[in-house]
Chains A and B, each alone.
Chain A
Amino acid sequence: MSLQTYPLVADWITARDGRLLIHTGKVDIGQRISTALIQIAHEELTLPWDRIDIAPVRTGHAPDEGITSGSNSIEQSGHALRCAAITLRDCLIKFAAEQSGGDIDDWVLSDGALRRDGTNLCIDLVDLTSDIAADTPIDENSVTAPRSVDALPRPEMRGLDDMVRGTFTYIHDLERPGMIHARLIRPPHAKATLLDIDAKKTGELEASGFSIIRDGSFLALAGPQEWPVVKAATRLASACHWSLDTGLPESDVFKDLTAAKAQSFLIVDAAPTDDPIPKPDPNVDHSARYERPYQMHGSLAPSAALAEWTGGILTVHSHSQGIYPLRDSIADSLGLAPDQVDITHVPGSGCYGHSGADDAAFETSLIAMALPDTPVMLKWTRDDEHAWEPYAPAMAVDLAAQVCDGKILAYSADVFSDTHRGRPRAGPNRAGPSRLLSNRFRSTPIGPISAQPNLGRHAGMHRNLDPVYTFSETRLVKNLVSGLPHRTSAMRCLGAAANIFALESFMDELAQSYSVPPVIFRKSHLGEPRALTVLTELDRKIAARPELPENHGRGIAYAQYKNQMTRVGVSVDLAVNDRAEIKLKHIIIVADAGRVIDAEGLSAQLEGGCLQAASWAIYEQVKWDRDGIQSRDWDSYPVIRFDNIPTIDVTILDRPNDPSVGAGEASPGPTIAAIANAVFDATGIRMRRMPFIPDAIMQVAAAN
């Protein structure tokens, strides 16, 4: 996609001030994509890392690569950049030969300079880059030389040095002359509306120099210094009278995740179809339902944005993952032309999917439009982020199988979920504005709209619903359930987290029933050599582990993200103590991500995905009641901390001749399942609903 839309070398690489500038539409959210892109340019062009920069990712300037999501950046931006760099290199060598003589083969590229054998001719690659034709097309069939992991130079992560010294600039750190700070006054919950505000108090606040911005039930306060704004916002909140309507629905969401309430689609070749859905075969040997509650991205930094409305242009700085779709959605919301909105990406903290970033950018825009010619910095509070970010939807997966001679013959999977596609992006029913949170609270509200089913391959809830294993017969059904209590959107892995948790727990249950070792059971349903190699290596690593003490358990799982990206085998050793608390001990990850670009970055993504998933599995669930969200801070929404961090042993298989594939979402799914399987190994208790908190473990134990 990226290459087709941006087919020129100069779309991706330009030269400026003696340095190469990489242009990308993908943003760095802590996943080290910028380091990987610099490494790709370095590999192909030999230019030292410190002479390669990433251009600001800004609308109107950067390639429009949609959203930084789906672990696609390496295969989209990375592939395009590699082809551009190889084309550039070949052009430069040809150009050098034409300009300075000799055959192409006489010219050698090293350390960013072209040298002609047998002469002292040396041409700097960056200088020469400025001379090539601006319309040079990228050769899409560029061939790169294979490079083994061991031969890889290890680039230092971009920005790391500044991070450890406190000099890395996040969105929250931006300053502008005359900048004011803003805070929001949120409704008690999503169904509430603002009736009125005590005029005496608003008068006092305005007399003290604060601006109050109201549009329907959207309410904000702004002023020159940050802490006085925080305090004044609390005072303003106490002056508000809200209609609470019926409150939040308190029904059991898992009971609502049923076919009776869903739009259902038969999945064929990983994509939804209109084909008739066969009834489930009642004759099954094993069936089980697996569930994940609403969970949150829980960014460490609350969302923020900087915006200014001056001279008919709205300038926005945002940590959004998709600045172009956000630009169009903000423009549509405010009645502006897209080119009146200029968005630059500035890093926030890790987001792990669609956090509050886009909503904050729009809310800052609303405030900036009300206060022209003034730069406005809006920061969400911790409470805002916990209570108002779009959550990962609650999910349920019903699995059933017929087994003969220890082999699964027929396999049925029904997945139930609300939408994973809540990002602001142009579409029917003004889908862009409808998915910006505060539009629904304005005096002329836009949205919310009911979700349309995502019909893409391995998209949304049916990501990895298709088993990676070979079963002779499969029946796979996607069930989109609407009208559930909370706004939902994309979180790391989308449906793959629950689907892989389900399938890999189910495989373990079947392996147990037929007394087959779990690695052997999986291998007997896999034909693909690379999958088998991952499992063989995992088995070898496990065999080298000491025997487990009492109360300890070991579980494994395997998955290939979207059945086409990184293959990951995970083994988890853990203990379950007397209080039914899970203590993680040792985790082995074996991964095949094709050709490796940045080995440290790849390991960090695999480890990070594993620990985030461990947090989902062991701790995380959004709680609410009629009066609103109850999970409003890190005490009421606990997550993994340093007191439960296992040792993690990562093995990356060397695949120098295979295409590089994304890995940021490859390890979470199998980690959740491996934890569930290890809990079973330790206790005989099968956990089929996340999170595996002590109360839940005790309940399942009591029911056994």
Chain B
Amino acid sequence: MILTLCINGETHRVTSDPDTPLIYVLRDELKLKGTKLGCGLEQCGACAVLVEGKVVLSCVSAVETFDGKEITTIEGIGDTSVGSRVQDAFVSMSAAQCGYCTAGLVVATTALLTSNPTPDKDSISQALTPHLCRCGSHPRVLRAVEQAANT
């Protein structure tokens, strides 16, 4: 069975088994390695991508459920004006240590600011709480979100 995925504006025909979680298709078949696997349980947020503009954790749901859908990964997030602003803000606030959670956080922040350009603290916390950071970069990430929202 061949599925069609639209990833970062490009159409890909994928041959992985339909039950394959999306992240394995992205990383193993399509070699889009920017999306990170942290738990495979939808508990840590490292694997976040956008599907039709909404944050989806890609480590559990089977690729067949995304057939024909528009997917944006970290590799394509900078092509949007919000995504690019978020990336710049993360750099200017030094909002990463090891950086393994960063792709997921950039994706989640982009989705948040696209739907809500001026989020309050609670909305930011709600959007980012599904994402773990073990290095303790949280205060810098929060400053980056604020900066991206204010520019």
Contacts and interface: CB of A to CB of B under 8 A. Distances in A.
Interface of A: 29-32, 156-157, 159-170, 172-173, 175, 181, 225-228, 230, 298-302, 347-350, 352, 379, 381-382, 600, 604, 607-612, 633-635, 639-643, 645, 647-648
10 contacts: A163-B103, A164-B91, A164-B99, A300-B133, A349-B38, A349-B101, A604-B94, A608-B136, A633-B41, A643-B126
A430 B1 CA distance: 53
B131 A642 contact: yes
A643 B128 CA distance: 8
Given A163-B102, A301-B100, A382-B39, 14 more contacts: A30-B135, A31-B97, A161-B91, A163-B99, A165-B74, A166-B77, A181-B28, A604-B97, A611-B136, A641-B131, A642-B124, A642-B138, A643-B126, A643-B129
B136 A610 contact: yes
A405 to B, nearest CB: 41
Interface string B74-99: 11011000000001001100101111
Interface residues of B, number: 57
A299 B37 CA distance: 12
B142 interface: yes
Residue among B17, B29, B78, B100 with most chain A CB within 10 A? B100
B136 A228 contact: no
A172 B27 CA distance: 10
B44 A350 contact: no
Interface in B32-52: 32-41, 43-44, 46
B136 A642 contact: no
B20 interface: yes
A29 B97 CA distance: 8
A634 B21 CA distance: 20
B113 interface: no
Contacts of B31: 175
A168 B134 contact: no
Nearest to B127: A642
Contact of A164 (B27, B73, B96, B138): B96
Contact of A639 (B38, B77, B132): B132
A181 B129 CA distance: 32
B100 A156 contact: no
Question: Chain B CB within 10 Å — which of A159, A168, A300, A611 has the most?
Answer: A300
Given A634-B44, A643-B125, A166 B33 contact: yes
B43 A352 contact: no
B137 interface: yes
B4 interface: no
B132 A641 contact: yes
B139 A647 contact: yes
Nearest to A297: B134
B46 A167 contact: no
A83 B102 CA distance: 35
Contacts of A298: 134
Contact of B101 (A156, A157, A181, A300): A300
B106 interface: yes
B54 interface: no
B43 A634 contact: yes
A202 B37 CA distance: 28
Nearest to B41: A633
A348 B40 CA distance: 17
A308 B22 CA distance: 28
B38 A382 contact: yes
